[in-house]
A and B are shown apart, each in its own frame.
Chain A
Amino acid sequence: MARFNYRIITVLLLITFVFSACAPSTPSTPVVSATSVAPTAEQASGTIVIALAAAPVSLDPADHRSRESETVIRNMFDGLVTRDATNGVHLELAESMDWADEQTLNIELREGVKFHDGTEMTADDVVFTFERIINENQIEYPEAHTSPRKGLIAPLESIEKTGDYSVTMHFSGPWPPAMQLLVHQQIVPKAYIEEVGTEGFIAKPIGTGPFRFVSAQPGFEEVVLERFEDYYGGSPELTPVGKACAGQVVFRVIPEASTRVSALLAGEVDIITNVPQDLIETLSANENVQVKTAAGTQPKWIELNVNMAPFDDVNVRKALNYAVDKDLIIEQIYGGRAVALPGPLSPYNSFVNKSLSPYPYDTDMALDLLSQAGWADTDGDSILDKDGQPFAMTIDTLEEWRSLAEAVADMYRAIGIDANVRFWEYSVVRDQLLAGERQAYLDDWGDSAFDPVGHFEAKWHGFVADTPFGRGNFSTYNNERVNELIEQGETTGDTAARQAIYDEAQQIVYDEAPAVFLILPEEVEAASASITNWTPASDSRENMHDVCKTE
């Protein structure tokens, strides 16, 4: 009997193992109606289920730096301004905004806007919201800390109430990207948070957005929202204005890309984000599915540690740029849905240096530069060497960029570099990167504001602890002139002058190549054909206000 069991169990285990990949996903929780959600009178107008690739980290608009969190939060919370799918900024909770001078912004608030608990939004709430972000240690749960979103509004020095529905913001200097970056801050209710604290607020968040919170699974594996009937309508510039179309919206986390696609095909979810490139054709061929793309905002590169041999030699860094066939990668891995990066900024950034073009694919040039740096194959093992040492490199990256990283490693091996790939958890590798302990790191850094601020100073300014400068600088690049230009660019109001500043900065970074500038993939999302009025946004936000589901 024992023998029989053993064999059966082994076989079953294996079969499960082999076919788990093929099996369509069974949702970890039964469909929404089976969870604790009470059916509402509006059930008829449909429930839309969105599959996210990762779980939100918090539902507190002031306590996260993640796109998934922002996607969910911005359906529950509105901000002073909002952004449409094509990068235009529009007034939302603000009725008007006027610059009194370069450092002072007067804001008139919309009247009659209600939070989900029925109280009205006033200037007090707006002042409270921003002070909670810019002042130290305002978020007391789970332990007192400063809002991680402070960096997104660093120049804001103070905010004062000038009337029941008007506030004034004071900035430390001219701040050109103010409008684009204010989009990322949402208004929270003062009285409610003061009453229940941050812990209570996260348990039941209340905002002014088109949907109100119903329930969330632990770890935000699933968040259920329902239509807020007293919604003021949203930005009058963005039609349709009024209540949301869908009665209920469910955000469900499905980390596995192929499982997300299967769930969409099976009708378990209505909208999926981060569609893997390989599956776009399959999805496009299905008439029950619509696939849409938006210009990408997550440029990918390999940052090379400029203080660690062999990447302390600019010729080696340039050679690695020439050795990557970006067009082949775009064609084969991304199905043409990506562009080559022309330098440190995305080609869609408002301040991209238009005179730069991507490093061409030229292995002769790469080998030439490498031999100038002293690397040549002297012992005939088809691996480049210098002083008896073979050229070996490890590309550190995250599991999600596996295909890209392995393709680049293949191209490096083809010219005689012993390149390997290693996968990490971002939270583990980040400290090592900032400490300059890693050699080469492939990842991206979002620029959804389409402005160099929030992006350029994070990647290419020398690292300065506890400031936004260099917070994502994984190449340990530190160029005095670039630092200077970055600081100038953040406080120069005149567009032409800013352009000149950023042009110079990009040119320097391009020439010194502290990174291998790779590609910018488009954001690809898919929805079932019954979903209407849905447009993926470049900042990967899912704005569900306008989206409808036809039965």
Chain B
Amino acid sequence: METGPDIRSALQDQIYIWRIRLELWWGNFKNFLRELSAHPLAMVGGVVLVLYLLSALFADQITVHNPIQGNLRLRHIAPVWQAGDWTYPLGTDSQGRDLLTRIVYGARISLIVGFLSVGISVIVGVLLGTLAGYFGGRFDSLVSRLADLLLAFPFLIFAIGVMAFLGPGFTNLILALTFKGWVEFFRLVRGEMLAEKTKEYVEAARVTGQGHLAIIMKEILPNIIQSVFVLGTLRMGYMIITEASLSFLGLGLPPNIPAWGSMVATGRDSILVAWWVSTFPGLAILFLVMAINLFGEGLRDILDPRLKLEG
């Protein structure tokens, strides 16, 4: 049997290819970090974002209190610098639950909602945008009109309407956010598609006999995916705010889930006696969305070639 050496060499080839790829990626990443260091605000945003991500991931490990079970005897304990009690660093809410614990668990909700709603929007938007932009025709005009129609509604009001219709719940929330969220990605990808498909490198690919799928996947998409990435980051902050607004209005997640928006809402009645109950979840939203937006803008400067030309 002579197959042994062949397999070994094929494997070695693969390892070699992957090593090159990894080196390229690592190089790109180092380049990216270097470029990022030229944008100090984006750096700060990135660091804060990573902190949020870590605390959301390890919420069970870094908190010592139960985010749901309250104790009335511990009601409205002030933050540590007022009450001097490190057991509840940011104080407790009106059910006697540790505020910091709930904020950390709230980060999990916000980030999951943000990633999931943007992720689904990207998939739907890119798919439809690619088809519409590349092939055009009746499908294009149909989806484009639908997108125009959806764009005519203000996002939050649209989401409120969808939630009021579907009722509270995680799946419904994601549905409400993505129902209109895909439109922006669709428009972006469709526009880029229209511009790219007439360029020489696409012509060249076509002349070499590549199929539509190969042209889209291997030639065009890699050229426009960075814009999608930038837009996705920027939209994520918006999705998180929308989720918080819906929760604030009682239209988001069920009340026992610690979402920042509903935490702000429930603290309103006691704002004069326990200012911290509303304020800290509000600040948590503020810092996360700020961080995402700063990071996203840095990304745009680095990744989006056209913007760099303008700059």
Q: Is B293 in the interface zone, CB < 8 Å from A?
A: yes
**B266 contacts which of A18, A256, A402 (Cβ < 8 Å)?**
A402
Contacts of B70 in A (CB 8 A): 406-407, 410
Determine the distance from Cα of A225 to Cα of B68 in the docked complex, in whole angstroms. 48
Determine the distance from Cα of A21 to Cα of B271 in the docked complex, in whole angstroms. 7
Whether the Cβ atoms of A402 and B255 lie closer than 8 Å is yes
**B71 contacts which of A13, A403, A410, A423 (Cβ < 8 Å)?**
A410
Which residues B60-97 have CB closer than 8 A to chain A?
Answer: 68-73, 75-76, 94-95
Q: Is B246 in the interface zone, CB < 8 Å from A?
A: no
Task: Report if A414-B256 is in contact (Cβ < 8 Å); known contacts: A10-B237, A17-B245.
Answer: no
Contacts of B268 in A (CB 8 A): 21, 256, 258
**A11 contacts which of B94, B234, B290 (Cβ < 8 Å)?**
B290
Residues of chain B at interface, number, CB under 8 A: 44
Whether the Cβ atoms of A279 and B273 lie closer than 8 Å is yes
Whether the Cβ atoms of A403 and B94 lie closer than 8 Å is yes
Q: Is B267 in the interface zone, CB < 8 Å from A?
A: yes
Q: Is B13 in the interface zone, CB < 8 Å from A?
A: no
Contacts of B300 in A (CB 8 A): 3
Whether the Cβ atoms of B275 and A22 lie closer than 8 Å is yes
> In chain B, what residue has the closest Cβ to A10?
B293
**A10 contacts which of B255, B272, B283, B289 (Cβ < 8 Å)?**
B289
Whether the Cβ atoms of B293 and A6 lie closer than 8 Å is yes
Contacts of B234 in A (CB 8 A): 6
Whether the Cβ atoms of A421 and B72 lie closer than 8 Å is no
Q: Is B285 in the interface zone, CB < 8 Å from A?
A: yes
Determine the distance from Cα of A332 to Cα of B72 in the docked complex, in whole angstroms. 6
Contacts of A17 in B (CB 8 A): 241, 244-245, 248, 264, 282, 285
Determine the distance from Cα of A96 to Cα of B203 in the docked complex, in whole angstroms. 102
**Closest-CB distance, B126 to chain A (whole angstroms):** 22
Contacts of B273 in A (CB 8 A): 278-279, 281-282
Contacts of A10 in B (CB 8 A): 237-238, 241, 289-290, 293
Whether the Cβ atoms of B254 and A18 lie closer than 8 Å is no
| Most chain A beta-carbon contacts within 10 A, residue among B70, B75, B269, B294 | B269
Q: Is B274 in the interface zone, CB < 8 Å from A?
A: yes
Contacts of B248 in A (CB 8 A): 17
Q: Is A109 in the interface zone, CB < 8 Å from B?
A: no
> In chain B, what residue has the closest Cβ to A23?
B271
Q: Is B270 in the interface zone, CB < 8 Å from A?
A: yes
Task: Report if A276-B269 is in contact (Cβ < 8 Å); known contacts: A7-B297, A10-B293, A14-B285.
Answer: yes
Contacts of A422 in B (CB 8 A): 254-255
Contacts of A281 in B (CB 8 A): 273
Q: Is B204 in the interface zone, CB < 8 Å from A?
A: no
Task: Report if A18-B69 is in contact (Cβ < 8 Å); known contacts: A10-B293, A279-B270, A421-B256.
Answer: no
**Closest-CB distance, A427 to chain B (whole angstroms):** 13
Whether the Cβ atoms of A410 and B255 lie closer than 8 Å is no
Whether the Cβ atoms of B274 and A278 lie closer than 8 Å is yes
Q: Is A140 in the interface zone, CB < 8 Å from B?
A: no
Which residues B232-265 have CB closer than 8 A to chain A?
Answer: 234, 237-238, 241, 244-245, 248, 250, 254-256, 264
**Closest-CB distance, A158 to chain B (whole angstroms):** 46
Whether the Cβ atoms of A21 and B267 lie closer than 8 Å is yes
Determine the distance from Cα of A224 to Cα of B263 in the docked complex, in whole angstroms. 36
Determine the distance from Cα of A333 to Cα of B297 in the docked complex, in whole angstroms. 46
Contacts of A18 in B (CB 8 A): 264, 278-279, 282-283, 285-286
Determine the distance from Cα of A7 to Cα of B289 in the docked complex, in whole angstroms. 10
> In chain B, what residue has the closest Cβ to A259?
B268
Determine the distance from Cα of A409 to Cα of B269 in the docked complex, in whole angstroms. 20
Q: Which label, helix, strand, loop or mixed, suits the secondary structure of the B interface?
A: helix
> In chain A, what residue has the closest Cβ to B265?
A21
Whether the Cβ atoms of A14 and B250 lie closer than 8 Å is no
**Closest-CB distance, A212 to chain B (whole angstroms):** 35
Whether the Cβ atoms of B256 and A14 lie closer than 8 Å is no
Contacts of A407 in B (CB 8 A): 70, 72, 95
Q: Is A486 in the interface zone, CB < 8 Å from B?
A: no
Which residues B122-148 have CB closer than 8 A to chain A?
Answer: none
**Closest-CB distance, B241 to chain A (whole angstroms):** 7
Whether the Cβ atoms of B241 and A14 lie closer than 8 Å is yes
Which residues A360-409 have CB closer than 8 A to chain B?
Answer: 399, 402-403, 406-407, 409
**A22 contacts which of B269, B271, B290, B297 (Cβ < 8 Å)?**
B271
Whether the Cβ atoms of B270 and A420 lie closer than 8 Å is no
Contacts of B95 in A (CB 8 A): 403, 406-407, 410
| Most chain B beta-carbon contacts within 10 A, residue among A262, A281, A329, A332 | A332
Whether the Cβ atoms of B270 and A14 lie closer than 8 Å is no
**Closest-CB distance, A309 to chain B (whole angstroms):** 22
| Most chain B beta-carbon contacts within 10 A, residue among A6, A7, A21 | A21
> In chain A, what residue has the closest Cβ to B68?
A413
> In chain A, what residue has the closest Cβ to B288?
A14
Task: Report if A258-B269 is in contact (Cβ < 8 Å); known contacts: A402-B255, A421-B256.
Answer: yes
Whether the Cβ atoms of B72 and A257 lie closer than 8 Å is no
Contact with B along A93-129 (1 / 0, CB 8 A): 0000000000000000000000000000000000000
Whether the Cβ atoms of A410 and B69 lie closer than 8 Å is yes
Contacts of B238 in A (CB 8 A): 10
Determine the distance from Cα of A91 to Cα of B21 in the docked complex, in whole angstroms. 94
Whether the Cβ atoms of B272 and A282 lie closer than 8 Å is yes
Whether the Cβ atoms of A3 and B297 lie closer than 8 Å is yes
Task: Report if A413-B72 is in contact (Cβ < 8 Å); known contacts: A278-B273, A282-B273.
Answer: no
Which residues A465-497 have CB closer than 8 A to chain B?
Answer: none
Determine the distance from Cα of A262 to Cα of B272 in the docked complex, in whole angstroms. 9
Determine the distance from Cα of A341 to Cα of B175 in the docked complex, in whole angstroms. 44
Q: Is A38 in the interface zone, CB < 8 Å from B?
A: no
> In chain A, what residue has the closest Cβ to B294?
A7
| Most chain A beta-carbon contacts within 10 A, residue among B69, B282, B294 | B282
Determine the distance from Cα of A13 to Cα of B156 in the docked complex, in whole angstroms. 12
Determine the distance from Cα of A15 to Cα of B297 in the docked complex, in whole angstroms. 20
**Closest-CB distance, B302 to chain A (whole angstroms):** 14
Q: Is A328 in the interface zone, CB < 8 Å from B?
A: yes
Whether the Cβ atoms of A399 and B282 lie closer than 8 Å is no
**Closest-CB distance, B255 to chain A (whole angstroms):** 6
Contacts of A413 in B (CB 8 A): 68-69
Determine the distance from Cα of A480 to Cα of B207 in the docked complex, in whole angstroms. 89
Determine the distance from Cα of A176 to Cα of B55 in the docked complex, in whole angstroms. 65
> In chain A, what residue has the closest Cβ to B280?
A18
Determine the distance from Cα of A74 to Cα of B268 in the docked complex, in whole angstroms. 32
* Extra 6 A-B pairs, beta carbons < 8 Å, given A19-B282, A282-B273, A325-B72: A7-B297, A14-B241, A17-B264, A22-B279, A276-B270, A332-B72
15 contacts between A and B (CB under 8 A): A17-B241, A17-B264, A17-B282, A18-B278, A18-B279, A18-B282, A21-B271, A21-B278, A276-B270, A278-B269, A279-B273, A281-B273, A333-B72, A402-B255, A407-B70
Contact residues of A with B, CB < 8 Å?
3, 6-7, 10-11, 13-15, 17-19, 21-22, 256-258, 261-262, 276, 278-279, 281-282, 325, 328-329, 332-333, 399, 402-403, 406-407, 409-410, 413-414, 420-423
Contact residues of B with A, CB < 8 Å?
68-73, 75-76, 94-95, 234, 237-238, 241, 244-245, 248, 250, 254-256, 264, 266-275, 278-279, 282-283, 285-286, 289-290, 293-294, 297, 300
- Top 4 A-B pairs, shortest CB-CB distance: A18-B282, A332-B72, A278-B270, A410-B70
